Amino acid sequence: MKSLADCTLYTFVDTAYLPGRAPEDVAQQLCDGGSDLIQLRAKNSSPDEIRWLAEKILPVTRRAHVGLVINDHLEIAREFGADFCHLGQEDFFDAGHTHVAPLKIKNSKLKIGLSTHAAAQAQRAVAAGADYLAIGPVFATGTKPTAKPVTLEYVRWAAANVPVPWFAIGGINMQTLPEVLAAGARRVCVVSAILNAPDVAQACAEFRRRLE
């Protein structure tokens, strides 16, 4: 697997965008297209359903040497030996955590990513030892329709101030990518622009080309 610093394209197996498709097939297409990281996100699924999904996806990502990120469920990430767990502000700080170290089992290589929506949150997340940050949502997005866009101003701030790897997220597609890169982003998370594409692997590969 690439080092986190070298990862630029972060994609998703998001159950909200999977109707009729096998999760392992979508994961394979994401890997074939050049994804560096793949997050399993299943907001409305039970822990057992997420375990089933992880069982399907993990062999695919392992074969491709692509990092698997489990969203929200730290115990499942630990259980499956996933590479990463991603947590929101409400799952981390609002739950009483102040540093990522206690969340990592001794000798575990598990890395923790944190969502941030403002400069103060990013500074707090860095101080808490987050391995990477998500910066967004940059634009309005159907993936999180109630979230207020943080705009390109936050991307510019992150480019100048965040010392750990960070990924711009939210409403990033082929039309918006150039301005996100111009604002200083070097890594992006892409959900619907890839998962809704007629050819997932080809869409991934096109983002990969633009990022390089």
What percentage of the chain reaches a pLDDT higher than 90?
Answer: 90
Q: At 91, which CATH number?
A: 3.20.20.70
| Residue 106 banded pLDDT, cuts 50, 70, 90 | confident
Q: d(Cα 14, Cα 23) in Å, to the nearest integer?
A: 9
Q: Which ranges of the chain does DSSP label H, i.e. alpha helix?
A: 23-32, 47-64, 74-80, 119-127, 151-161, 177-182, 192-195, 200-211
Q: d(Cα 174, Cα 130) in Å, to the nearest integer?
A: 29
Instruction: Mark 103-123 as b/e (b = at least 16 C-beta within 10 Å).
Output: bbeeeeebbbbbbbbebebbe
Give the per-residue pLDDT at 147.
Answer: 74
Give the per-residue pLDDT at 170.
Answer: 95
Give the count of beta carbons closer than 10 Å to the beta carbon of residue 208: 15
What percentage of the chain reaches a pLDDT higher than 70?
Answer: 99
Range of the domain at 75: 4-211
* Per-residue pLDDT reduced to its tens digit, 73-98: 999 999 999 999 999 999 999 999 99
Q: Using CB atoms within 10 Å of the CB of residue 142, give its burial: 0 to 12 exposed, 13 to 18 middle, 19+ buried.
A: exposed
pTM of the model: 0.95
Tokens of 184: 């200083």
Name beta bridge partners: 39.
12, 69
| Residue 63 banded pLDDT, cuts 50, 70, 90 | very high
* Per-residue pLDDT reduced to its tens digit, 113-156: 999 999 999 999 999 999 999 999 999 877 677 778 899 999 99
Position 94, amino acid:
D
Q: d(Cα 113, Cα 88) in Å, to the nearest integer?
A: 9
- In the chain, the number of structural domains is 1
| Residue 69 banded pLDDT, cuts 50, 70, 90 | very high
* Per-residue pLDDT reduced to its tens digit, 23-51: 999 999 999 999 999 999 999 999 999 99
